[in-house]
Amino acid sequence: MTLAIQLRHRVGGFDLNVVFDAPPGVTVLFGRSGSGKTTVVNAVAGLIRPDSGHIRLLDRVLVDTARGIDVPTHRRRLGYVFQEGRLFPHLTVRQNLAYGRWFAGRARGGPDTDRVIEMLGLGGLLARRPQTLSGGEKQRVAIGRALLARPQLLLADEPLAALDEPRKAEILPYFERLRDAAEVPILYVSHSAAEVARLATTVVVLEAGRVARQGRAAEVLSDASVLPAGVRGAGAVLDARVRRHHADGLTELDAGGVALFLPGLTHGPGAALRVRIAAHEVILARGKPEGLSALNILPGRIVSIRQGSGPGAMIVIDTPAGRLLARVTRRSVQALELSEGVTCHAIVKSVGIAPEDVGAPGAV
Amino acid sequence: MGLGPEEWQAVALSLRVAFWATALSLPLAVFVAYALARWHFAGKQLINGLVHLPLILPPVVTGYLLLLTFGTRGPVGSVLQDIGIVLAFRWTGAALAAAIMAFPLMVRAIRLSIEAVDPGLEQAAATLGASRAWVFATVTLPLILPGIIAGTVLAFAKAMGEFGATITFVSNIPGQTQTLPSAIYAFLQVPGGEAPALRLVIVSVAVAMSALVLSEVLARRVARGLAGA
């Protein structure tokens, strides 16, 4: 395990009590605001001292309250990307980047300055001050600054939350690249299902200060019962590969042998992708539908049906492409006589897959 | 307009007193301002009150308390005398009086600027490997520089003009403890002293104005540095 955490902490009326492990890759702490995500990350960073607990990073114990161990923040060898960037206003971009590198001093490993500048596209910004940067540029510098401190773990607390959609789309690929380069493990806080789907190798779902569920991204995300973002945020993640681009602007993907058609992607043939399919974009049919405009039809078998008191139901379907989530009405469940084990077809409109839901695959 | 030797003496002494009063109390003022702005400790309100006391007490009272404490027969003064330091009726005593009177102004200005620094920046510096001392030197200090400049200039001006506590504690000895305000006061007590008094008043105004302009220029330069132009 890269990171092993066991924490108890009380602040006001809030009681945090979590135990989880983070393997290499991106571990996303996922939950509503107020579920304790930031508290966990701040405890790892040493910005708060937990009432009791144990935190181990690789072979180093950072916190062990029973033995009185509490490594000060500046000796923990972390990189922390904050929601608001927190760049030093009195330093240039170049000096901001150099800050952590200088203190890392003799520490070995990690990417060198030139590579980070190139990877994050910071070359043109070096002489500027943080106040003159856009939100997206600030976050790129903040990521670079954290990486150059040669951290053994990168912490990111909702690094995209303060950005608008185009800026989010600008920053997300950098985190994907970091994950795929596998140079540094990442503990990433988010309440966005789309971010989790694109980034996570491991998901830890927090609810009211407790771990509600943890596991590999594909498993956790296809479990409708634990999604804290509610039914609106629910969606399954499929791994796919680009087969070819069609003349009419569609891109054909291969997901476990099934063809998926998406509006034109820029990835070359053979490129591996992660596609998130939102549950509310999926239609179910008992027989193989014909005369339908939707291009993507996946045969499958119903694994589970969850219904609450509302009019909706969440259905998990096993298909050759992977697990899908479908959000349908309870009326449809009765009309189609859907139940566990029943075979059906899942239908997804090509344009129902948002461009921001297509990303690079996770290295696991 | 020529200054007589006695007048020059008063100006030079005032500059010396104000310089040392400001220079020596600055590090302590930064420390106290930081403690008051950032730390939670028992007796914080007491310290805060003590620091501000000279601002509200009549200066003569402060001077008399100094005389009781630091006079050659006072509890601190007698100890200092044993190791060869005498403050009462010396220019060093004038510097002490000026420093104590100017201290609250300096602490106030610096404390306000420290409170304006986002603690998140200091946390960020810590996560990047900076110890507390380094965080202070590389993040906090540069960001509060405008406040330090403002506090220093204010304190210097106050120290130049200190009268009540100074005259009570170290008297008004020409060449020894007769600072600019004491000299003006002394000239006004004798017939024909109006002319030298007026000359010293003009010097006072000039010094005060230069200090103000200097602090403006410095503050603007620092602000420009922070704004990244």
CB contact (8 A) between residue B123 and residue A73: yes
Please answer yes or no on whether B127 and A76 come within 8 Å at the CB atom.
Answer: yes
- B145 to chain A: closest CA residue: A90
Which of B117, B118, B121, B128 should we substitute to test contact with A (largest number of A Cβ atoms within 10 Å)? B128
Question: Which residue in the set B121, B129, B139 is minimally distant from A100, CB to CB?
Answer: B129
The reply to whether residue B227 touches residue A82, judged by beta carbons under 8 angstroms, is no
The C-alpha of A18 sits at a distance from chain B's nearest C-alpha, in angstroms, of 23
Tally Cβ neighbours within 10 Å of residue B5: 9
Which tokens hold the place of A181?
């380069």
Q: Residues 6 or more apart from A262 whose CB is under 8 A from it?
A: A250, A251, A253, A275, A350, A353, A358
Write the pLDDT tens digit of every residue in B89-106. 899 999 999 999 999 999
Q: Where exactly does CATH 3.40.50.300 map onto chain A?
A: 3-221
Q: Which segments of chain A belong to CATH 2.40.50.100?
A: 235-359
Cross-chain residue pair A73–B126, CB shorter than 8 Å:
yes
* Chain A: closest CA distance from residue B127 (Å): 5
Are the Cβ atoms of A80 and B226 closer than 8 angstroms? no
On whether any CB of chain A is under 8 Å from the CB of B144, the answer is no
Question: pLDDT under 70 in chain B at which residues?
Answer: 1, 225-229
Q: Which pLDDT does position B51 carry in this prediction?
A: 93
Residue of B nearest to A44 (CA): B127
Among A72, A86, A100, the residue with its CB nearest the CB of B121 is A86
Residue of B nearest to A127 (CA): B228
Flag if A72 and B131 touch (Cβ within 8 Å). yes
Q: Please give the order of strands across the beta sheet that includes A26-30.
A: A78-81, A153-157, A186-190, A26-30, A202-207, A210-216
Beta carbons within 10 angstroms of residue A311's beta carbon: 10
Interface-testing mutation among A86, A95, A132, A133, with chain B (most B C-beta atoms within 10 A):
A86
The pLDDT, as a whole number, for residue A110 is: 66
Q: Which of A357, A75, A55 is nearest to A233 (CA)?
A: A357
Question: B143 and A89: CB-CB below 8 Å?
Answer: yes
Check residue A188 and give its pLDDT.
94
Interatomic CA distance for residues A182 and B56, integer angstroms: 63
**Residue B215 C-alpha, separation from nearest chain A C-alpha, in angstroms:** 19
Token readout for A95 is 């000096």
Averages of pLDDT over each 10 residues, chain A, 364 residues: 91 89 92 88 94 93 93 93 93 93 74 86 92 91 92 92 82 85 88 83 90 83 59 73 87 87 83 83 86 86 78 84 85 87 88 73 50
Facing B228 at nearest CB: one of A78, A104, A128: A128
The neighbour count for residue A103, using CB atoms within 10 Å, is: 20
What residue in B sits closest to A83 (Cα-Cα)? B120
What domains can you pick out in chain B, each with its CATH number? 5-227 (1.10.3720.10)
Residue B204, token pair as written in the block: 């006072």
Close Cβ partners of A270 (under 8 Å, ≥ 6 residues apart): A241, A242
Count of beta carbons in the 10 Å neighbourhood of residue A262? 23
Is A235-359 assigned to CATH 2.40.50.100? yes
ipTM of the complex: 0.82
Q: Which class does domain A3-221 fall in?
A: alpha beta
- Tell me the chain A residues in contact with residue B126 when contact means C-beta distances shorter than 8 Å: 46-47, 72-74
Half-sphere exposure of A38 (CA within 13 A, CB side): 12
Backbone angles phi, psi at A126, to 5 degrees: -55, -35
Give the span between the Cα atoms of A89 and B225, in whole angstroms. Answer: 9
